[in-house]
Amino acid sequence: MASPSSSSTSDGPAAPPPPSSWVILGSIPRVVQGGGGGEAADLSLALAAPPRVSRLTVSQRVFPDSPTPHNFPFVLAADSSGLLLLSAILAAPRTRVDVDRPGNHIWS
């Protein structure tokens, strides 16, 4: 008895997988010197196929400080249209701020 031919075998090369509808975006962008002037972009994003992580790159014009463990830019949100919400914690001298709240009076 002859076995039926299998539909999983083919004579040609395998077709590439369809493009992914999702990516993994790292939350902390890379900060690069330069950029933002003339033809250069302030940010760029090269998409990596899952499960690799895509990483945003921003110029020093977007984040002028040197990144440290306490001061760095980060992605708060992203949507499928390409809109990114980026936040940056910049180094700042510590200052005291007095907040005048109604009903909170100090009498001397």
What are 53's two structure tokens?
């992580």
What are 70's two structure tokens?
């306490």
Comparing 7-16, 37-46, 75-84, the range with the smallest average pLDDT is 7-16
Q: 56: buried, middle or exposed (CB in 10 Å: 19+, 13-18, 0-12)?
A: buried
Q: How many residues does the chain have?
A: 108
Q: Which domain holds residue 44?
A: 24-88
How far apart (Å, rounded) are the C-alpha atoms in residues 88 and 47? Answer: 22
Q: What is the pTM of this model?
A: 0.61
- Residue 98 covered by a domain: no
Query: How confident is the model at residue 89, as a pLDDT?
Result: 78
* Spatial contact of 42 and 58, defined as CB atoms under 8 Å apart: yes
- Residue 58 covered by a domain: yes
- Residue 7 covered by a domain: no
Average pLDDT on 54-63 reads 91
- Residue 3 covered by a domain: no
pLDDT tens for residues 70-105? 889 999 999 888 899 999 877 777 777 666 667 666
* Spatial contact of 57 and 45, defined as CB atoms under 8 Å apart: yes
Between these two residues, 78 and 19, which has the higher pLDDT value? 78
- Residue 70 covered by a domain: yes
- Residue 80 covered by a domain: yes
Work out how many domains the chain is built from and give that number. Answer: 1
